[in-house]
Amino acid sequence: MSGVLPVATHLALLLLVPPLLLGVIGKTKAWVAGRRGPPVWQTYADIDKLLRKGAVYGRPTTWVFRSGPVVGLASTVVAGLIVPLGAGAGPLSFSGDVVAFAALLGLGRFFTMAAALDTASSFEGMGASREAAFGALTEPAFFLALAIVCLPAGTATFAAAWAALPWTVWNPAIPVQLIAAVVLGIVLLAENARIPIDDPATHLELTMVHEVMVLDHSGPDLAFIVYGGAVKLFVMAALLVHLLVPVPADGGWWGAVALVAGVLGVAVLVGLVEATSARLRLARVPGFLIGAAGLAAVGVAVLVARGRP
């Protein structure tokens, strides 16, 4: 990718759009429930408010606690530079970037969990422990879904994989592609702590996963966490959109418009799932995630059994 304009477009999309997704999810849930709900711009206002606030730190905490939100947001943003956003390739696209993308998200999770353990609070330890358990089980599902996407291109590279997707109607590869989309959707819900894996709106610490893990963060630290969560949701939604909607490799502005429309559509879907379903019991979540990995494994098996894709 050459030129300043595509990079600027990518950065603008990556940094400005994400908070809107949380607003759209909230609005969708409110609409289904017959409420008016907060405005779609609410998250921008929340982040702005948190950035201007001071912070309170727990007495046992050290620099590890303070580094958690910084590393979490930084790794998510760098991961966001890898994926294509409405164009052929991300600015940081390279051969094998799929693996780096997943590892960067893992780095953010590592530091968020370490920060939680730094508080010496049993609640945050509980959240980190659950996050570790669900995170470990999400990884195989994520990589198997990525394998489905990458096998036709023959390389673990987002740009090449999207370019090799079969967009002809009635292509026999389409069902497998749908399997990948379903599994990626489940991974999106798990990675972003949404229903049915986790409930971001719960008010009881004992039932939380992600929320309780970041309970002690305040002020700019919490702003980084909220914003980082939005960027992560946006990036994962972008993966899903590229899998389901043919975004032209060199579509100019249309690519960006199609991407934003698609990503907002994913947000509406997430809102609908949250409004119409309950979260799973904690003990049932591992089975759900292992099932997703199994589904993706079936997709991979179909691809291999059909011979070279």
Q: Among 4, 5, 36, 54, which residue sits at the site for another protein (rule: CB under 8 A)?
A: 54
Q: How far is the CB of 52 from another protein (least distance, A)?
A: 7
> Token digits for 194?
């949404």
Q: Among 3, 5, 59, 250, which residue sits at the site for another protein (rule: CB under 8 A)?
A: 59
Contacts with 91 (C-beta within 8 Å, 6 or more apart), sequence order:
1, 6, 7, 10, 11, 81
Task: Specify the residue, 144 or 230, whose C-beta has the smaller distance to another protein.
Answer: 144
Q: Hey, what amino acid is at 22?
A: L
List the x/- string, 275-304, binding to another protein by CB under 8 A.
-------xx--xx--x--x---x--xx--x
Task: Specify the residue, 69 or 229, whose C-beta has the smaller distance to another protein.
Answer: 69
User: Quick check: 158 and 243 in contact, CB under 8 A?
Assistant: no
Task: Specify the residue, 40 or 151, whose C-beta has the smaller distance to another protein.
Answer: 151
Residue 309 interacts with another protein (CB under 8 A)? yes
Residue 225 interacts with another protein (CB under 8 A)? no
Task: Specify the residue, 38 or 211, whose C-beta has the smaller distance to another protein.
Answer: 211
Task: Specify the residue, 267 or 303, whose C-beta has the smaller distance to another protein.
Answer: 303
Task: Specify the residue, 92 or 268, whose C-beta has the smaller distance to another protein.
Answer: 92
For 125, other C-beta atoms within 10 Å of its C-beta total: 16
- Size of the residue set binding another protein (CB under 8 A): 95
**Alpha-carbon distance 228 to 2, whole Å?**
27
**Alpha-carbon distance 177 to 186, whole Å?**
14
Q: Could you tell me the CA-to-CA distances from 243 to 73, 163, 189, 222, 306 in Å, in that order?
A: 25, 10, 16, 32, 21
> Token digits for 144?
């198997």
Residue 153 interacts with another protein (CB under 8 A)? yes
- Contacting range for another protein; rule: CB under 8 A; set: 9-17, 47-55, 181-189, 271-279: 47-55
Contacts with another protein in 78-107 (CB under 8 A)?
A: 78, 81-82, 92, 94-100, 102-104, 106-107
Residue 74 interacts with another protein (CB under 8 A)? yes
Contacts with another protein in 183-212 (CB under 8 A)?
A: 205
Residue 12 interacts with another protein (CB under 8 A)? no
Sign of dihedral through CA atoms 27, 29, 34, 35? negative
Task: Specify the residue, 136 or 178, whose C-beta has the smaller distance to another protein.
Answer: 136
- Mark 162-176 as b/e (b = at least 16 C-beta within 10 Å): bebbeeeeeeebeeb
- Contacting range for another protein; rule: CB under 8 A; set: 4-12, 48-56, 237-245, 255-263: 48-56
Contacts with another protein in 238-277 (CB under 8 A)?
A: none
- Tokens 């002809």 correspond to 168
Is residue 122 packed enough to be buried (19+ CB in 10 Å), middle (13-18) or exposed (0-12)?
exposed
Task: Specify the residue, 3 or 307, whose C-beta has the smaller distance to another protein.
Answer: 307
Q: Could you tell me the CA-to-CA distances from 212 to 44, 131, 148, 208, 293 in Å, in that order?
A: 22, 10, 34, 6, 26
Contacts with another protein in 118-137 (CB under 8 A)?
A: 118-126, 128-130, 132-133, 135-137
